[in-house]
Amino acid sequence: MNLKTSFKQFYQENGYAIIPDVIDSGLVLEVQNHVMWLQNKYPDIRAEAFHHDLLINDPFIHKLLDNKNMLDIIEGVIGSDIALFGAHYIAKRPRDGKPVGWHQDGSYWPLEPMNVVSIWLAGTDSNKSNGCMRVIPGTQNKKLIKASEMIKLDTNDYVLDLAISKSDIDSQKAVDVELNAGDISIHNPSIVHGSNANLSDSWRIGLTLRFIPTSTYVNRANWECILLRGRPNNAVKNNYVSKPIFQEGEHMYFSGYKNFL
């Protein structure tokens, strides 16, 4: 059984799957450097909130996404015409990294249809003590709760501003998605998931990447996507960015930056 197919049955049954050793230690180090570089560049933005707009035209992110291991895994789930529509570092600092309330990703997304899969890429080890992602297997088969049915959270205390009420969750069934740096997990847009605060002495760095087939429409004006493999769909008017140009001072140096000059 190869990597492309071996995780699929587990994913279909449980709504998530772990795939070890997808990126090498050199790239892991660059992911860590990238978070520290962004923290230095944007001192007023918390590291849990390095969102899509800061990443979508960043040459390092484009290099990271040009990864056969990762794209083969995604192809196994959504087919061979692949685009990225979301990227977000949720990097939790030691001792005060914020929790993420229980939610289903699809509640937030303007995707038509909701054909999408997420990668959570571990830039450090991610475990119970530093606030790893937690999922409730089986909930990928439940209907999506609307944003209007969720409770509001204070973003001074939580990464996201909405959550499913605790009374609607059987958190006894939650599974800790523990990863080593360089591993990934994938998850379904309907699975209920969240994470606890990071109260440990170590960073917990996660990069969330959201992949759609090019037949899925992102119904949000001027939203920027990256075409990663295969062809765009002429009937679906998504907006694909060009390959970014590396600019000193604007972007972090990384191995291969010269490919973006």
Ligand X SMILES: O=C(O)CCC(=O)C(=O)O
Residues that bind ligand X (CB under 6 A): 90, 100, 105, 118, 120, 133, 193, 195, 206, 208
- Would you say 116 or 251 has its CB closer to ligand X? 116
Write the burial class of residue 115 (CB in 10 Å: 0-12 exposed, 13-18 middle, 19+ buried).
middle
User: What is the smallest separation between the CB atom of 51 and ligand X, expressed in angstroms?
Assistant: 13
User: What is the smallest separation between the CB atom of 14 and ligand X, expressed in angstroms?
Assistant: 16
- Which residue's beta carbon is nearest to the bound ligand X? 195
- Would you say 84 or 90 has its CB closer to ligand X? 90
The token duo for 92 is: 């939790």
User: What is the smallest separation between the CB atom of 260 and ligand X, expressed in angstroms?
Assistant: 27
Taking only Cα atoms into account, the Rg of the chain, rounded to an integer number of angstroms, comes to 17
- Would you say 163 or 246 has its CB closer to ligand X? 163
- Would you say 82 or 133 has its CB closer to ligand X? 133
DSSP run (H or E) holding 5: helix 3-6
How far is residue 159's CA from residue 219's CA, in Å, rounded to a whole number?
A: 24
User: What is the smallest separation between the CB atom of 157 and ligand X, expressed in angstroms?
Assistant: 14
How far is residue 239's CA from residue 28's CA, in Å, rounded to a whole number?
A: 29
Residues 6 or more apart from 234 whose CB is under 8 A from it? none
